[in-house]
Amino acid sequence: MQTQQPQTYPNSAAGDHAGEQPQAQDSLPLAQSPEWLLYSSARNRQRLTGILAAVLLILAFAVLADGLLSRMRGGGSYRLEMLPGSSAPISGPMGSAPALESEMRAFPIPVDAPLSFEFQGFFTSYWFGTGMWRGLVHVSETAATGTYALAVGVEGQPSSTFQTYTISVAASSREQDRASLSLVRRYTGFNPFYLAAIFGALGLGTGISGFFLGRRQNRLLQDLGLAEIVRAMPEGKFVRVYAVQGKREVTGTSFVAYDREMNRLGKVIYDGEKNGIASCLFVPAGHGNPASGSFIAFWERADFVGTPMRRGLFSPLIEKGMEKVKGSDRDNGENAR
């Protein structure tokens, strides 16, 4: 579809003022100008970045939910997944009365389960200051694959103080993953909590990048003298449109509306501005109606030809370097003659 906007750009699109025509060799349609191409590229990158950030964060929440559900189904910290010949730390309350090491008891379930307990000492709880015991549970190197239990506590204390641990023994790490209650670990072999942390960090980093890309996109749009339409709604025979970058001083002035491909749609009459949002009345001209994502041209410059105002941090240095290289080549050519 051919671009329908004029070849020249007035200082404002108001009324019948066409502005001064630039020289023919400098005149370019806006859709072909370097600044518009730069803005389009920034807009595409920002949208892709936003989509990627959303996908990563959704994956992070889904994986985290899977990990939490698997922990809940397995009894939280009271379920241990172990390999033959391995050990794992455990701890529990020792009751209200002081206890001795000789009073610690551990009961494998069943009695011949390939489990053993090694007491390591007493300590004070970090949260409530109560007495706790700690130790290691060992799985025999000849343990068969299966699910066992181990009850640990202090002799003479109420049975409620005994902690019962469910211990799932697998012959290999691969078999352990396949038997996991977590779907993520079962099919990928990764710990869901670590995977959720990785996805979350990547999602946040990508989202922050998208935020800065959005700010750059807005600055490029302002340099072009454009305002993006964020809402359009019918109003009688006209269309009421709302756009960012409102300017109270141009109330009553008419401007030009363009669609997303920069095809001219018709004229809009600027009504006013409130909280940075411009309110305009679009006059249909048979070229279609504006929608969210269309633009209003608040022309502020005679044309859009030349060096873009915002291109990146190192663009000026790169251009100077290229100019020096070209100058050096030109001097070498003259010397050769």
Which of these ranges, 114-118, 171-175, 231-235, 270-274, has the smallest mean pLDDT?
270-274
Joined together, the tokens standing for residue 126 give 């970090």
What pLDDT score does 86 carry?
92
23 pLDDT exceeds 60? no
Percentage of the residues of the chain whose pLDDT score is greater than 70? 74
Q: Is the domain defined by 84-169 classed in CATH 2.60.40?
A: yes
Q: How confident is the model at residue 290 (pLDDT cuts 50, 70, 90)?
A: confident
What pLDDT score does 76 carry?
65
Q: How confident is the model at residue 17 (pLDDT cuts 50, 70, 90)?
A: very low
Q: How far is CA 267 from CA 18, 23, 261, in A?
A: 14, 26, 17
The answer to whether the bond into 110 is cis (omega within 30° of 0) is yes
Joined together, the tokens standing for residue 260 give 């997303």
Specify whether the CB–CB gap between 261 and 3 falls below 8 A: yes
End-to-end CA separation in angstroms for the chain: 50
What pLDDT score does 121 carry?
87
What pLDDT score does 192 carry?
92
**Residue among 301, 298, 267, 269 at smallest CA distance from 20:** 301
What is the Cα–Cα distance from 65 to 305, expressed in whole angstroms?
53
3-state secondary structure of 190: coil
What pLDDT score does 337 carry?
60
Taking residues 102-130, what's their average pLDDT?
A: 84
What pLDDT score does 275 carry?
75
Question: Mean pLDDT over all residues of the chain?
Answer: 78
Q: What is the DSSP string of 122-139?
A: EEE-TTT--EEEEEEEEE
What pLDDT score does 209 carry?
92
300 pLDDT exceeds 60? no
Q: Where are the domains of the chain?
A: 29-76+177-213, 84-169
Give, as one character, the DSSP assignment of residue 69.
H
Q: How confident is the model at residue 2 (pLDDT cuts 50, 70, 90)?
A: very low
pLDDT 10s digits, 154-194: 887 777 778 889 898 998 888 888 878 889 988 888 989 99
Taking residues 33-53, what's their average pLDDT?
A: 86
Give, as one character, the DSSP assignment of residue 84.
T
Taking residues 311-323, what's their average pLDDT?
A: 57
Specify whether the CB–CB gap between 296 and 280 falls below 8 A: yes
The residue whose two tokens read 């019948």 is: 16
Give, as one character, the DSSP assignment of residue 285.
-
Q: How confident is the model at residue 25 (pLDDT cuts 50, 70, 90)?
A: very low
